[in-house]
Amino acid sequence: MGQKDSKFLIYIIGGFVVAFIGLALALVIYNTANPTLDYNDMEQLDSFVDTYNQEEDVYLVYFYSETCPACQRIKSEVLRFADDNNADVPMYFIDLAKVSLPANVNDILTGYRGTPHMEIVMNGNYFGASASGSSEIPNLFDEINSGLNDYIN
């Protein structure tokens, strides 16, 4: 291998190193400028009783678990909606892995079917307008954002 060939190889390797460092730096800058939302950034409720005693007349309560695969599938969509939705409806989160079930069964939602689950609360009452699962909840968000939900818009 001649001297020209080894210089060319050094330039190629150097180019790859510079490109890799540039991409890594771009990712760091992008992630810093565009922070990712997390459940901890949202208003968390500590008990089932808290799910129906918030100040607003109408709000949403999202029941989830960090270990729920369906919750993970829609996590970014749920967090984006909670952070910014067309109806400006408040949304509260309750991590079912972190709360204990109440002694009184009446404190648990009648229609509760596991995670992910969303309830619309109006004037401190659940009234059966809920969504469960990784397809119903995003559909509810679309309905609310387009002004088609009877309870929120």
Per-residue pLDDT of the chain (153 residues; tens, 9 = 90+): 567 778 888 888 988 889 889 888 887 776 666 567 888 889 999 888 888 889 999 999 999 999 999 999 999 999 999 999 989 999 999 998 888 666 555 555 544 557 899 999 988 887 767 888 999 999 999 999 998 888 786
Q: Which of 90, 92, 93, 112 minimizes the C-alpha distance to 101?
A: 112
The confidence score (pLDDT) of residue 150 equals 80
Q: Same domain for 94 and 51?
A: yes
The confidence score (pLDDT) of residue 35 equals 61
pTM: 0.72
- Give the contacts of 121 (CB within 8 A, at least 6 positions apart): 51, 52, 54, 58, 59, 60, 61
Specify whether the CB–CB gap between 151 and 103 falls below 8 A. no
Number of folded domains that form the chain: 2
Strand partners, 117: 63, 132
Q: Same domain for 12 and 72?
A: no
What does the block give as tokens for 99? 């709360």
Q: Which of 124, 116, 115, 56 minimizes the C-alpha distance to 91?
A: 56
The confidence score (pLDDT) of residue 31 equals 63
The confidence score (pLDDT) of residue 8 equals 84
Distance separating alpha carbons of residues 76 and 80, to the nearest angstrom: 6
The confidence score (pLDDT) of residue 72 equals 93
Q: Same domain for 29 and 55?
A: no
Which range of residues forms the domain containing residue 2?
Answer: 1-35
In order of 1, 60, 86, 118, the CA distances from 53 in angstroms are 78, 12, 24, 16
Q: Same domain for 17 and 48?
A: no
